[in-house]
Structure 1
Amino acid sequence: VEKKLKLKKDVVCHVCEGSGAASRDAYLSCPQCRGSGEVRQVSQSLFGQFVNITTCSRCGGHGRVLKDPCKACHGDGRKKGESIVTVEVPAGVTSGNYITLRGEGNAGPRGGTSGDVIILFDEIEHEYFERHGDDILYNLPLSFSQVVLGDEVEVPTLTGKAKLSIQPGTQANKILRMRNKGIPQLHGAGRGDQLVRVVVWTPTKLSADARKLFEELAKSESTRPSVKDRSFFSRVKEAVL
């Protein structure tokens, strides 16, 4: 996706065009370093002569000093301003990923090189998708009759709605996998899967007729967990308690 960002930053002064000078002859050769930008200090020791080279404190290493600064930027060559940059956000980025826009940062002082802009991504939680790497998880609410009898339902995906087959006897919390319906791999050709977790919806209010039907179903052994299943659930209960 493409995003446009407005940045507040230091921009080149339009009056002096970034030079910081009010006129062409506003700069003089630095009298302290004689235009070299460096100061050499010679010292003598028992081991011989040493030369220490440091940046000139008068001109800051530029080799020249400004005698007539630009009044608009006070000799800095920059002013506060704004710019709009276009960012190409690659598919598959996640929180912590970043991209660098070279030369789009603050303008350098007195015609110096501009800095960079670092775009750090922070992922916002989706309304109903949960991200797990390149896979996404979606909780699908189904009625008791749908999981018992089976059904074909429509589920939302990142690219639109898709049909999903629910097999008869599907258990609650079962994870169904929709291949290649997840998030595109960053700098890759493939994409993850969409995981669909079955959530059995339990009605809180029943009509009289519906209650009678459920009471009849409750009498049937086929709607109860088998001895094997009950044993498993008991072990789970004991482990939890």
Structure 2
Amino acid sequence: MKQDFYEILGVDKGATAAEIKKAYRKQAIKYHPDKNPGNKEAEDMFKKAAEAYEVLSDPAKKQRYDQYGHAAFEGGGGGYGGGGMNMDDIFSQFGDIFGSAFGGGGFGGFSGFGGGARGHVKGSNLRIRVKLSLEEVANGVEKKVKVRRKVQADGVTFKTCPTCQGTGQVTRVTNTILGRMQTAASCTSCGGVGQIIDKKPAEADAHGMVVQEETVSIKIPGGVVDGMQLKVTGKGNGAPGNNGIPGDLLVLIEELDHPTLKREGDNLHFDLYISIAEAVLGTSKEIDTVSGKVRIKLEEGIQSGKILRLKGKGIPSINGYGSGDLLVHINVWTPKTLNKEQREFFESMMGDDNFTPHPEKSDKSFFEKVKDMFS
């Protein structure tokens, strides 16, 4: 059974984003591989803390985790690392948490892994914002965006770092009252890469990189929510060295307002206004849905405030649990001005029993309808 994420980070369920970030930083520093070389238990705790922070730092994922626990991410539905995160994933996604706690140098702007023992670096991530209509959110869409990213220039070559001899680490021996202590640290000459630039073309920067524009295709599944972040692996900035790994492209979803439909979770709401005559005699009306217009029938004597539910006409669940519903709210429009004939008609109906309210037991009150909506 997987350990509770809040327990891993040592915070309460009501912890703020700042408290969660602070707790993760504390755990990451405590169990960082550089501080615990060869300690498998510390490495496992480091990964667990990263998995916990990946979920709890994302509002959408945190909400699903609070509601369903680890089951919310089973089956690969937009989840987290799930125990399969490697060190590359952890450092690339949470490098900003560490700041300068573990040194740096060498190839500035790139993230070294494990103090350089693995002999490669990962390029920095790029972030873009993609605006989606409600129809695109509901049906899923493939977007093509132009991205300016750094890649290795043609003709750039690297050679073994003379300081660390290609290991990415330097060993220091110090004398203490307890005896001679040996420690390993990331090489400051190459930043833990194990390589430095040998030759580069004139147009390349100090790291042997050039900026290129590339069209990236992004497949966005149906059911995403505003503020959700998707990752396109390997489409961020490139990294120097023969073993460099490109960073990722992080895509922030921005949901645009729809002119007639309002979203609430996976459900949609539509306000339908009808006249008194239409309410009395019944009618049919055409309304908007995310898959096009549909016509619905309104029965005779329909009451203002009635809610019609169109099953499955809402937004599909991002976790694959079916689709929400479209709730049509009936609003009977009362005319504000009447001509003489109309006024005389309604005045003659003032005492008519048919025009006297007789709510049935099945007619729910306003507060009952609100309670049903939120339950």
Which residue number in structure 2 is paired with residue 140 of structure 1? 272
Q: What does residue range 18-29 of structure 1 map to in structure 2 within 5 Å?
A: 19=156, 21=157, 29=160
Counterparts of 2:254 and 2:225, CA distance in 1: 7
Which residue number in structure 2 is paired with residue 2 of structure 1? 142
Which residue number in structure 2 is paired with residue 24 of structure 1? none
For the pair 1:106 / 2:249, whether they are aligned, the reply is no
Counterparts of 2:359 and 2:223, CA distance in 1: 47
Counterparts of 1:190 and 1:210, CA distance in 2: 49
Which residue number in structure 2 is paired with residue 11 of structure 1? 151
Mind listing any 5+ residue stretches in structure 2 that lack a counterpart? 1-140, 366-375
Which residue number in structure 2 is paired with residue 182 of structure 1? 314
Q: Which amino acid aligns with 1:180?
A: G
Q: Percent identity?
A: 33
Structure having the larger proportion of residues in strand? 1
Counterparts of 1:66 and 1:188, CA distance in 2: 48
Q: What does residue range 127-206 of structure 1 map to in structure 2 within 5 Å?
A: 127-188=259-320, 190-206=322-338
Listed one character per residue, the Cα deviations across residues 176-202 of structure 1 (whole Å, up to 9, x for unaligned) are 111221112224262111111011122
Relative distance call for 1:134 and 1:62 in structure 2 (3 A) is: closer
Cα deviation, residue 64, structure 1: 4.3
Q: Which amino acid aligns with 2:283?
A: D
Cα deviation, residue 52, structure 1: 1.9
Relative distance call for 1:217 and 1:11 in structure 2 (3 A) is: farther
Cα deviation, residue 220, structure 1: 2.3
Cα deviation, residue 92, structure 1: 1.3
Q: Which amino acid aligns with 1:84?
A: T
CA contact (8 A) 1:28 1:67 kept: yes
Q: What does residue range 31-110 of structure 1 map to in structure 2 within 5 Å?
A: 31-66=162-197, 68-110=199-241
Counterparts of 2:285 and 2:191, CA distance in 1: 71
Counterparts of 1:155 and 1:68, CA distance in 2: 65
CA contact (8 A) 1:78 1:110 kept: no
Cα deviation, residue 149, structure 1: 2.2
Relative distance call for 1:193 and 1:144 in structure 2 (3 A) is: same
Q: Which amino acid aligns with 1:92?
A: G
CA contact (8 A) 2:168 2:187 kept: yes
Q: What does residue range 198-237 of structure 1 map to in structure 2 within 5 Å?
A: 198-226=330-358
Task: Please give the secondary structure, in 2, of the residue aligned with 1:42.
Answer: strand
CA contact (8 A) 2:196 2:241 kept: no
Compute the TM-score of the two structures, normalised by the length of structure 1. 0.79
Cα deviation, residue 114, structure 1: 0.3
CA contact (8 A) 1:37 1:55 kept: yes
Cα deviation, residue 219, structure 1: 4.3
Which residue number in structure 1 is paired with residue 133 of structure 2? none
Cα deviation, residue 46, structure 1: 3.6
Listed one character per residue, the Cα deviations across residues 124-164 of structure 1 (whole Å, up to 9, x for unaligned) are 11100011111111000101011122223222222222232
Cα deviation, residue 85, structure 1: 0.9
Counterparts of 1:86 and 1:131, CA distance in 2: 27
Cα deviation, residue 113, structure 1: 0.8
Structure having the larger proportion of residues in helix? 2
Mind listing any 5+ residue stretches in structure 1 that lack a counterpart? 22-26, 234-241
Task: Please give the secondary structure, in 1, of the residue aligned with 2:309.
Answer: strand
Task: Please give the secondary structure, in 2, of the residue aligned with 1:109.
Answer: coil
Counterparts of 1:228 and 1:31, CA distance in 2: 89
CA contact (8 A) 2:193 2:241 kept: no
Counterparts of 1:39 and 1:12, CA distance in 2: 27
Greater Cα radius of gyration, structure 1 or 2: 1
Counterparts of 1:193 and 1:182, CA distance in 2: 4
Which residue number in structure 1 is paired with residue 252 of structure 2? 120
Q: Which amino acid aligns with 1:74?
A: D
Relative distance call for 1:62 and 1:123 in structure 2 (3 A) is: closer
Counterparts of 1:212 and 1:132, CA distance in 2: 44
Counterparts of 2:305 and 2:280, CA distance in 1: 14
Relative distance call for 1:140 and 1:228 in structure 2 (3 A) is: closer
